[in-house]
A and B are shown apart, each in its own frame.
Chain A
């Protein structure tokens, strides 16, 4: 059974640029959630996708958007990057509202 995978591992962007992060869910899972973890903090919920539809959103601006594909993999897109967007972005997959299992994360640095 393959766990949650994320790509890329690390990424460096400059302010104003756009970024796309990718996540492959664990086999048998149909739900993907995205979290932002700033240095020294706990993860903060961005949004969740269930069957290709957004199913809950945290306090993040519209420039954070996402997609889920028919194979349940997902993308997180962030437009107009700001310095404060520098963080570890975590993807978690689950079977509906069952427990969430996390990937290793993508470390985004905005200069």
Chain B
């Protein structure tokens, strides 16, 4: 099945650094979402974006819905050890023709060193 392209695939950063990751698609979406998944757990919703160009923050997290509706990025400021995990983008609606399913990205694995 289709998966969105996320980059980078993995990253090692030091505590306190800022992090940027992005997600691109060949399809247009009406909604972009960012989830975080810890080992052995289900994905947890971090941020939802509903409008092209929208910039939304949730604490140290900021995400943007790309103008073309085919991309999104997530920034994490001042990273801390508990930010470790896998970050997934997901798109819904638009070209997929259905509002029922989420199409997920390939994931960005974040590791934070002290």
Contact in complex: B100, A104 (CB < 8 Å): no
Partner of A105, one of B41, B98, B104: B41
Chain B contacts for A33, CB-based, 8 A: 100-102
Chain A contacts for B81, CB-based, 8 A: none
Chain B contacts for A81, CB-based, 8 A: none
Q: Quick one: which of B41, B100, B101 has the most chain A CB within 10 A? A: B100
- Count, chain B residues at interface, CB 8 A: 24
- B88 in the interface (beta carbon within 8 A): yes
Contact in complex: B41, A42 (CB < 8 Å): no
Contact in complex: B43, A102 (CB < 8 Å): yes
- A73 in the interface (beta carbon within 8 A): no
A44 to B104, CA, bound (A): 7
- A27 in the interface (beta carbon within 8 A): no
Provide the B27-63 mask, 1 if CB < 8 A to any CB of A, else 0: 0000001010000111111001000000000000000
- A87 in the interface (beta carbon within 8 A): no
Chain A contacts for B107, CB-based, 8 A: 40-42
Chain B contacts for A101, CB-based, 8 A: 45
Chain A contacts for B1, CB-based, 8 A: 44-45, 58-59
Contact in complex: A42, B88 (CB < 8 Å): yes
A35 to B92, CA, bound (A): 14
A48 to B101, CA, bound (A): 7
Interface residues of A (CB under 8 A from B): 4, 33, 35, 40-45, 48, 50, 55-56, 58-59, 90, 92, 97, 99-105
